[in-house]
A and B are shown apart, each in its own frame.
Chain A
Amino acid sequence: MYRGVGAFRALRSLAVVGAIGILVAACGGGTTTNQGTQLAADQTLRFPLNDDIGIFDPAFTNAAVDSAFTQNLFDGLLKFDKDMKIVPDIAESLPDVSSDGLTYTFKLRKDVKFSNGDKVTAKDFIYSWSRAAKLQGDYAAEVALVDGYKDVKAKKATTLSGMTAPDDYTLVVKLSEPGGYFVTQVAFFTAVTAVVSQKAIEAGGEDTWWTKPETLIGTGPYKMSARTPKQSLEFSAVDNWWGSPKPTLKKIHVDVISDFSSAVAKYEQGGFDDVGFGDMNAAIPSEDVLRIKAGPKVSELHFIPKTRTTWVGFNFKKPPFAGAAGKDLRKAFSLAIDRDKLVDVVCSHGITCAKATGGLISKGLKGYLGDNADPLAKFDAAQAKQLLQSADPNKTKTKGLVYQYNPSDFNKAIAENLQSQWQDNLGVKVDLQATERATFFSRRTKEEYIIFRHSWQADYDHPQDWFDNLFTTDAGNGGTGYSNPQLDALVKKADAKKTEDALADYKQASQLMIDDAQYAPLVYALGVFLTKPYVKGPQANAFNDPYWNELSIAQH
């Protein structure tokens, strides 16, 4: 749209050139927060998504895009604050834990209400968690430790027997076995542990209640106020919300723009206040990142370590990488990778990712081994060649290897770089094969691939999420067939302990994997955000966007 006549923007640019006084007049009168920031009159936050949201029902939420919204629409007993510390949410305080580690007692706040005005009681939590266990969404296992989970899952019961409510504001949760990570799972409320309203779900329909603003009822500081499918979403602050801080932003407007170059251009025009919220921190094209980095607006770019690690996986059941015999070969393939070169090529000169030198649990998370602590991440072409020579002197075992990946610009760039490095540094020719995502994941899970791309994005800040999903013998997402009884025992022991006490065990387990040369580490992801300087409040952390009620728009 051409804006010529009396445009607000024209006034603003005039003000920049001329007197500051006009600027203040042009932007209109604002109010002042208690921190002393002058607030803009229009408290609307606008940002883009590259596709519409998937599902807002906490029992099913499985995508970071969706939880970036549900974290503002729903609440759980506990939550992660902006520094990723676990703090009470609907609970009054952290739970009392019995000495055997099996019984957790939560005291609930008495002033919590759904956005339809109904009070939240302990019974609502029993309903919500049981419903999630029954529906078996991707994250249902968040409540798997609760006694009775197996029965509900098998449809032998409808309510988790481990949950009781002695009174309206006391919730007692009995676990079937001790788990130090239980508190972490409870705080991960953007999935199944959020409280939902039985009344709203029954009124709106099990499958559809969350699709319409009228029936999407939560306890969060915001509610959905409008939605045009695949085009835009709008959220507005809940009046007299029970929690704190009270929301300053009145409205959140989200546009769906599939081409993110266009979204960045619109941001530069002032049409968006942020690009990166809503799990879009990997969506900004690297050309744009480089251009903005070299320009005057560089201070609006923020790089935040994201909890995603990418590595090369090896098959432990099929030759040539199988078992102890394949260990030298696995190590050779890892040491032959110059990760400086890799990040230079695949991450726009290392600005959108960093080399993974501290183990598979990525930087910024509990269980990270420390910079340069992982010997598998060293580049040593001479040693790699030597190892290859001893393991495969005739180069017959490494003939015809095919590196498998699922197509994306990033995965392809990594694959091609690895191919050339293995050729140059090892003298081994590896073919590449891209397989459509769904098929790739299903084949990888079935352990059909010999050497392949793997990555994991942490669900919550606990090593258990990595070991139980990827590295133990019965982990479902490893794709390697790796089995180390010593590691299994160590992880089982650690899982039962309190997080602080368990870290040493997990680190020891990581060490076992290094000794086994279980993987070839590649990179840790960095998230890129573009945020206007007038958006005040905390930045996104490794997991979450900032909560909307902690943000405000300063006068500009």
Chain B
Amino acid sequence: MLSRRALIYLGERLVLVAFTAVAVSSIVFLGVHQLPGNAFLSDRRIDPVALQAIMHHYHLDLSLFDQYKLFVSGILRGDLGESLVNRGIPITPLLLREATVSLEVGAAALIFTIGLGMVLGVIAAIKQNSWIDYLATATSVVGYSMPNFVIATVLVLIFAVYLYNWSGGAIYYEIGWNGTYGTLGQISIPAFALGFPYASIVARLTRASMLEVLRQDYIRTAKAKGLSDRIVIIRHALRNALIPVVTILGPLTIGIITGSVVIENVFGIPGLGKEFVQSILSRDYNIVIGVFTFYALAIGLANLLVDFLYTAIDPRIRY
């Protein structure tokens, strides 16, 4: 259980995350209001009366300060307003749904990243300088140097097009989800595309820190005690080798969150990443602000989670 001090620390951090989210959304809010024109201009002459009515509907006829007051009070109530382009759609429930979709894909990618990365790293370290090591290292160099949108496009080509044609439509990856959440099969490929570059980083890092740990005296002692290789590696080596890996979990989670922007668009996943691109392209400023707020929250919470993971891995770390 968390100690009292840890709880206080957690509280402080949560306040900080909330503050960051409000600050980020405020900056975006002020930014989009500096852009010239408005979302309702088209190549058609709009009647001033109608424009006035619609501006009033969205409170755009108020002064920037009054709009900001409304915006902040809305945010504090969890109300991000209404879409400017797809009229009548309240933003908060929309983004909440999309966030859970992204969470589903992101969590799958994260599990895959850590799993594959650690397995590759450990094997490469144990069999250092063997062909297995070279293969694992080479794989991770490829993974690390290929951007995820390339991987995603190639995977679509292979699984959705070639496999479909080759099998005559019997087995294939079906693009675009029917319904809000994907099936395990549907998640697997986007999760792979999203996680593979990061799995490569994890693999390299695990390998390096495993190699270092394996040369420590206490490993030699453990071996001298007559413990089996498996126990030495899992219980004594891996746990200590994990600390640098956990350190990069923070940036890695953020990488997966931001990477979803590309992946969701390629695979047609109705998540937050797709919304990010679409809202910007359609100049739906209200949603843009909302998406940024969600991202700020997600990144803040992910960092917080990683910090608490430390305590689980390394008993010396206390908050």
Query: A residues within 8 Å of B by Cβ?
Result: 1-4, 7, 9-10, 12-13, 16-17, 48, 51-55, 60, 62, 135-138, 140, 153, 207-208, 210-211, 228-231, 255-259, 262-263, 265-266, 268-271, 436-439, 441-442, 445, 455-456, 469, 476-477
Distance, CA A441 to CA B86, complexed state (A): 21
Chain B residue with Cβ nearest A257? B268
B50–A269 contact, CB under 8 A? no
A229 with B94: in contact, given A257-B268, A259-B266, A263-B268 (CB under 8 Å)? Answer: yes
Distance, CA A268 to CA B176, complexed state (A): 12
Chain B residue with Cβ nearest A435? B36
Distance, CA A151 to CA B48, complexed state (A): 16
B53–A135 contact, CB under 8 A? yes
A439–B172 contact, CB under 8 A? no
Interface residues of B in 157-171 (CB under 8 A from A): 160-161, 164, 167-171
A1–B173 contact, CB under 8 A? yes
Distance, CA A337 to CA B175, complexed state (A): 42
Contacts between the two chains (Cβ within 8 Å), count: 157
Contacts of A258 in B (CB 8 A): 265, 268, 274, 277-278
A138 with B89: in contact, given A1-B174, A266-B174, A439-B37 (CB under 8 Å)? Answer: no
Question: What is the interface size of chain B, counting residues whose CB is below 8 A from a CB of the partner?
Answer: 56
A262 with B41: in contact, given A1-B185, A10-B170, A229-B94 (CB under 8 Å)? Answer: no
B278–A271 contact, CB under 8 A? no
Shortest beta-carbon distance from B151 to chain A in Å: 15
In the complex, given contacts A3-B170, A262-B267, what are 20 additional A-B residue pairs having Cβ atoms less than 8 angstroms apart? Answer: A2-B172, A9-B169, A51-B85, A52-B89, A136-B53, A153-B47, A153-B49, A210-B88, A229-B89, A230-B98, A230-B275, A231-B270, A258-B268, A259-B268, A436-B37, A438-B37, A438-B41, A439-B36, A442-B36, A477-B44
Shortest beta-carbon distance from A459 to chain B in Å: 9
**Which has the most chain B C-beta neighbours within 10 Å: A2, A455, A469, A477?**
A2
Contacts of A153 in B (CB 8 A): 47, 49
Distance, CA A262 to CA B270, complexed state (A): 13
Shortest beta-carbon distance from B178 to chain A in Å: 8
A207 touches which of B57, B156, B178 (Cβ 8 Å): B57
Contacts of A268 in B (CB 8 A): 161, 164
Shortest beta-carbon distance from B126 to chain A in Å: 33
Distance, CA A208 to CA B82, complexed state (A): 11
Contacts of B164 in A (CB 8 A): 268-269
Contacts of B3 in A (CB 8 A): none
Q: Can you show 28 pairs from A to B with CB atoms below 8 A apart?
A: A1-B173, A2-B171, A7-B170, A13-B169, A136-B50, A137-B50, A138-B50, A207-B88, A228-B180, A229-B89, A230-B86, A230-B98, A230-B278, A258-B277, A259-B265, A262-B176, A262-B265, A262-B266, A262-B268, A263-B268, A265-B156, A266-B268, A269-B160, A438-B36, A438-B38, A441-B37, A441-B43, A445-B45
